[in-house]
Structures are given as C-alpha cells and as structure tokens.
Amino acid sequence: MAKKTLFFVKIIIIICTFPLLMGNERCQIQDQLLDMLDQKIKPPRGQSGIYISHLSFMDPSTGSSLFQTDAGKLINNAVINGINQAQKTNPSFHHNAPGHTLEDTDANVNKLVQISLHPTLNKGDKINRIISEIMDPANIDVVVTGQYFEKGDIVDVRPLIIVKKDQKIVTKMTQFKKSEFLCADPVNPSTQALCQGAHDEISRLVTELLEQL
C-alpha cells in the first residue's frame, strides 16, 4: 500500500512540475501532497523509526498475565500478525528491532500487571511508571498488549497500545462466544487454535490501533 501511495504521489508531483517548466505558478497541491507523504510514510523528525514491542495480555479479573496460558499464546499470534500488517503499511514501524526490544517474559508482563492494577495510582502515574520502568529501559516507543475477560459464555478481548510520545493508552474491544473463539486446529485437530474469525478480528484491531500513531 505504501509503495502504491508513493507511486501515485510521485506521478502527481511530476504532473505538477509541468506548470513550473512553462513558467506558471507552482501546483497548489504539491506541498500538501508532500506533507501527507511525510506524515504517513516517514517517521517523526529526528527519529529513525517507531519502535514497537508486545507483551502478553492481562486478565484484570484475576490480576494475572496470560503469558503461560494457551489462550495467551494464541492471542499473541494474532497480535503479532496485526503488527506485521501495520509494518507493511508504514515502513517506519519496527517490531522488536535490535536494541529496541521489550522481551515478552512472565516477569515483564507481571510488572505491567502490577503497575496497571495498582490500587492507589491514578492513570497518569501508571503511564509514567510504565514508561520509566518498562519502556525506557527497552528503548521502545509503543507497547502492544491487551486485556482478556471471560464472562460466562462470552470472551472479551481488548487490544491496547501504550504510546510513550503522547503518554496515552488507546484501546479497542471485541467480544466472542467461546465456541467462536477457540476451535480445533485444522492442522492438528487434537489441539486448539483461535477460530479464524477471532484471529482475523484481533489482528485487524491491532493494525487499526497502530495506524492511529
């Protein structure tokens, strides 16, 4: 998509140069197109990229991480797919680049859980601690994670991103019936996988969150 956008913009800019060669005024939309190109394709000025890592989802109802659970691993696969899709659209995104990686470990996820669910911290304090204690040491700009709830026969999945630059958390929510969330793995029917619809929906939400950056 990014390559097509670049090609389209270049064609228009070439067309816009014709009036210049003829001595006419500069094409009015040329600067606007270049600005759009800078905003959508290039990373922020002074920065070579936007560095992204992911952590396994949390279960706020139990105050625990999904790091060692089958559901957590399956959700991770969908999340990583969503990040990869976003990278194809925006080449300034770098997932777990060398020197810019937050490892998805039980310790890191539990640290995030402890800060996120701390009973006496307000939202601003939580974000500041996440940035200073988790993101800064890993030299990353964005954490992709989420929350997972089970409510009877309903599974509530909420992907979210923590954005260092803007000091904010942005989330999206989707729900599935349990029968629509976990299915038999088509390759190995004795094991479970995310149902295709659930996998695609979680991936799509993660991509949409990152496209807002």
Structural domain for 17, as ranges: 2-41
Residues 17 and 84 in one domain: no
102 has pLDDT over 70? yes
Q: How many domains does the chain divide into?
A: 2
pLDDT class for 43, splitting at 50, 70, 90?
Answer: low
Q: Is the pLDDT of residue 11 over 50?
A: no
Joined together, the tokens standing for residue 173 give 């929510």
Cβ atoms of residues 136 and 177 within 8 Å = no
Residue 173, number of CB atoms within 10 A of its CB? 13
At 183 the pLDDT is 96
CA atoms lying within 13 Å on the CB side of residue 206: 33
The answer to whether residues 36 and 55 belong to one domain is no
∠196-154-106 over CA atoms, to 5°? Answer: 75
Q: Are residues 59 and 22 in the same domain?
A: no
167 shares a domain with 128: yes
201 and 140 assigned to the same domain = yes
Same domain for 60 and 17: no
Q: Are residues 27 and 118 in the same domain?
A: no
Confidence of residue 47 (pLDDT cuts 50, 70, 90): low
CATH number, domain containing residue 184: 3.40.50
Q: What is the pLDDT of residues 87-98, one digit of tens each?
A: 999 999 999 999
131-187 tens-digit pLDDT: 999 999 999 999 999 999 999 999 999 999 999 999 999 999 999 999 999 999 999
Task: Classify residue 16 as exposed, middle or buried by CB count within 10 Å of its CB (0-12, 13-18, 19+).
Answer: middle
Q: How far apart are CA 157 and CA 199, in angstroms?
A: 11
Task: Calculate what percentage of the chain has a pLDDT beyond 70.
Answer: 78
The average pLDDT across 51-67 equals 94
Are 109 and 153 in a shared domain?
yes
Given a cut of 70, is residue 117 above it in pLDDT? yes
Asked if residues 155 and 181 have their Cβ atoms less than 8 Å apart, the reply is: yes
What residue spans of the chain are helical by DSSP H? Answer: 2-21, 30-41, 70-89, 106-116, 123-130, 136-138, 178-181, 196-211
Same domain for 207 and 108: yes
- pTM, full prediction: 0.78
If asked whether residues 102 and 190 sit together in one domain, one would say: yes
pLDDT 10s digits, 13-34? 444 444 434 444 444 444 444 4
169, 123: one domain: yes
By residue count, the chain amounts to: 213
Residues 31 and 87 in one domain: no
